[in-house]
Structure 1
Amino acid sequence: MIVKSLDEIKGTVDDVADGHWESRRFILQKDGMGFSLHDTIIHAGTESVFWYKYHQEAVYCIEGEGEIEDLTDGKIYPIKAGTMYALDGHEKHRLRAKTQMRMVCVFNPPCTGQEIHDEEGAYRLPEQEAASQK
């Protein structure tokens, strides 16, 4: 059984930030669950482009307000507490936070915990990351 609290994660290697967001990683690849689970804060007034070419992501907003723009078709969807979106087609997207947003994010395949977004807004797969470090 895995039991973790947010207080245990804050300020550790599993608390990752880039200026626009902060991702607290609860479940990672090393936990062997087949997915990763993140508690993510999106800072108010920010705009970020993401494209998870190698991962599928489901996001449940539990706090705040913003919008997601599907950059493949231009559609814009409002996001507020109680809204879920899933990137089942690896859609490149822009996330705009009107207020601070808190999101529960699930990734498949699971993240290792130390991924960074590349120039296209994607996370590399673990084997790609390993190959780039050789």
Structure 2
Amino acid sequence: MIVRSLEEIKGTDRDVDGGNWVSRRLLLAGDNMGFSLHDTILKAGTTTPIHYQNHLEAVYCIEGHVTVELDPSGEKYEIKPGTVYALDKHDKHVLIAHEDTRVVCVFNPAVTGTEVHNKDGVYPVAND
């Protein structure tokens, strides 16, 4: 069984500052769960383009307010506490954080924790 607290992750290599966001990686590929689980803060006033071509992601909002804008359609979704969105088609999107927003993210396949978004907002496929 894996038991891990947010407090013990803060300040470790599982506490990743992506500039516009801070992601605390609670579960990663090395935990062998088949998915990864992240507690993430999207920083107020930021706009972040993302395109997970190699991963599916579900995001559950706990606090704050963010707009998800799909690219290229421009369709917008207002995400507030109690709302989940799932990028089930590897949707290219932009996150617009209106205030600090805390979300829980699940990735399939699991991320290793060392990925960095490329210029298009893509995470590479993890090496086995």
Q: Which residue of 1 aligns with 2:50?
A: 50
- Equivalent residue letter for 1:29: A
Query: Deviation per CA, 1:14-65, whole angstroms, max 9, x where unpaired?
Result: 0001221000000000000000000000000100000000000000000001
RMSD: 1.0
Q: How does 1:8-47 map to 2 (within 5 A)?
A: 8-47=8-47
Query: Deviation per CA, 1:72-116, whole angstroms, max 9, x where unpaired?
Result: 321000011111000000000000010100000000000001110
Q: How does 1:62-77 map to 2 (within 5 A)?
A: 62-77=62-77
Q: How does 1:59-98 map to 2 (within 5 A)?
A: 59-98=59-98
Q: TM-score, length-normalised on structure 1?
A: 0.93
Q: For residues 19 and 4 of structure 1, what CA distance do their matches in structure 2 show?
A: 25
Q: For residues 105 and 55 of structure 1, what CA distance do their matches in structure 2 show?
A: 12
Q: Which residue of 2 aligns with 1:100?
A: 100
Q: For residues 110 and 69 of structure 1, what CA distance do their matches in structure 2 show?
A: 24
Q: For residues 86 and 64 of structure 2, what CA distance do their matches in structure 1 show?
A: 18
SS in 1 for 2:8: helix
Q: For residues 64 and 5 of structure 1, what CA distance do their matches in structure 2 show?
A: 22
- Specify whether residues 108 and 52 from structure 1 end up closer, same or farther in structure 2 by C-alpha distance, changes over 3 A only: same
Q: TM-score, length-normalised on structure 2?
A: 0.97
Structure with the bigger percentage of helix: 1
Return structure 1 stretches of 4+ with deviation > 4 angstroms.
Answer: none
Q: For residues 57 and 27 of structure 1, what CA distance do their matches in structure 2 show?
A: 14
In structure 1, stretches of 5+ residues that fail to align are none
Contact 1:72 1:91 in 2 (8 A): no
- Equivalent residue letter for 2:51: W
